[in-house]
């Protein structure tokens, strides 16, 4: 892949896709192929087939997906499994059929078993029950991963899989109910400061441990893997550091100068108790994350504040 390659980024307006586009543009990519959802509905098999037949992308970053936090997964299970299965099936098959040289599929750390050993190695996939609060999304993502492996084995299609940990950064979804934990907390705590609300209620006990990766680091890792990795086995992408949800909320409160009380609602689900990735495989290839959590959160909060001012 070079600056003249025809590169399609599916989901270029999302958190991950937009970061990949920014990184590709910074590297001088001159032939990016981008389509909004209105221009190309990836759930529509005929539309995706026609797009690949016409555009003939050489490289594909498959960052398009229906995503959300615990509330969204619990509320819209049918959409989470249907839309993600359709997007993956359509894009992967059409990419192979129309001669794409290489495809990178974005999996997720949440597709690993709920109670697998920590830190989580790639080979722990499918060794135990999934976390029930996101099983619809997880089942779909596992199918996408296995589809990449199947096309790799049967057709020799260079489809690789990256398994990122929990992501955050500029361009995230800040919906108060349907977003992931970092943007949800930023939105809630920021709004509480602006409105002088004395307390913020947070779902769960605050004790679950999570690993977070800035999306710009993920974009860097995605380009690195596209250039240097071609095995069918998935690769974990993480920071190697973890914090509790309570510590995360406290760090966000400090960053926005919120002095109110953080209250944890233990009647709400916690999700997986701990989730940290083993990143030895990626580390052995020569890549490591560079953005620490504190400055990463500060940058993300500043970007969010600009959108609300």
12 is annotated as contributing to ligand binding: yes
9 is annotated as contributing to ligand binding: no
Compute the distance between CA of residue 133 and CA of residue 69 in angstroms, rounded to an integer. 9
114 is annotated as contributing to ligand binding: no
**Residue 114: phi, psi to the nearest 5?**
-55, -45
Compute the distance between CA of residue 279 and CA of residue 262 in angstroms, rounded to an integer. 32
Burial class (CB in 10 A: 0-12, 13-18, 19+), 155: exposed
178 is annotated as contributing to ligand binding: no
Say which of 8, 59, 137, 258 is annotated catalytic: 137
141 is annotated as contributing to ligand binding: yes
| Closest C-alpha to 236, from 135, 111, 144 | 111
16 is annotated as contributing to ligand binding: yes
271 is annotated as contributing to ligand binding: no
270 is annotated as contributing to ligand binding: yes
Compute the distance between CA of residue 297 and CA of residue 107 in angstroms, rounded to an integer. 23
| Closest C-alpha to 258, from 190, 305, 206 | 190
309 is annotated as contributing to ligand binding: no
136 is annotated as contributing to ligand binding: no
Compute the distance between CA of residue 12 and CA of residue 9 in angstroms, rounded to an integer. 6
Task: Judge if the upstream peptide bond of residue 119 is cis by omega within 30 degrees of 0.
Answer: yes
Among this protein's residues, is 8 annotated catalytic?
Answer: no
CB 133 within 8 A of CB 70: yes
106 is annotated as contributing to ligand binding: yes
Compute the distance between CA of residue 137 and CA of residue 145 in angstroms, rounded to an integer. 12
Summarize the annotated binding site for NADP(+) as residue ranges. 11-17, 106-109, 141, 164-167, 180
Residues taking part in catalysis: 137
Summarize the annotated binding site for substrate as residue ranges. 188, 203, 210, 270
Summarize the annotated binding site as residue ranges. 11-17, 106-109, 141, 164-167, 180, 188, 203, 210, 270
């Amino acid at each position: 892949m070079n600056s003249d390659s025809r590169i399609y980024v599916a989901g270029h307006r999302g958190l991950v896709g937009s970061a990949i586009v920014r990184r590709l543009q910074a590297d001088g990519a001159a032939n990016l192929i981008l389509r909004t959802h209105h221009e190309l509905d990836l759930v529509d098999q005929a539309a995706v087939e026609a797009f690949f037949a016409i555009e003939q992308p050489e490289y594909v970053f498959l960052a398009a997906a229906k995503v959300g936090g615990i509330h969204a997964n619990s509320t819209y299970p049918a959409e989470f499994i249907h839309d993600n299965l359709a997007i993956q099936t359509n894009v992967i098959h059409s990419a192979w059929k129309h001669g794409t040289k290489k495809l990178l599929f974005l999996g997720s750390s949440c597709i690993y078993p709920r109670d697998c050993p920590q830190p989580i190695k790639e080979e722990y996939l499918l060794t135990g029950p999934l976390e029930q609060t996101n099983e619809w999304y997880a089942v779909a993502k596992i199918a996408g991963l296995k589809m990449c492996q199947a096309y790799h084995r049967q057709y020799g299609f260079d489809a690789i899989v990256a398994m990122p940990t929990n992501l955050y950064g500029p361009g995230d979804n800040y919906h108060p109910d349907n977003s992931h934990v970092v943007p949800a907390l930023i939105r809630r705590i920021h709004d509480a400061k602006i409105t002088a609300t004395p307390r913020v209620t947070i779902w769960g006990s605050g004790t679950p441990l999570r690993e977070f990766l800035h999306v710009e680091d993920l974009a860097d890792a995605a380009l690195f893997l596209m250039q240097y990795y071609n095995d069918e086995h998935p690769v974990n992408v993480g920071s190697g550091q973890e914090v509790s949800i309570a510590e995360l909320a406290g760090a966000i409160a400090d960053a926005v100068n919120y002095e109110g009380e953080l209250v944890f609602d233990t009647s709400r689900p916690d999700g997986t108790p701990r989730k940290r990735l083993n990143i030895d495989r990626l580390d052995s290839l020569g890549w490591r994350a560079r953005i620490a959590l504190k400055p990463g959160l500060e940058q993300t909060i500043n970007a969010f504040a600009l959108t609300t001012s």
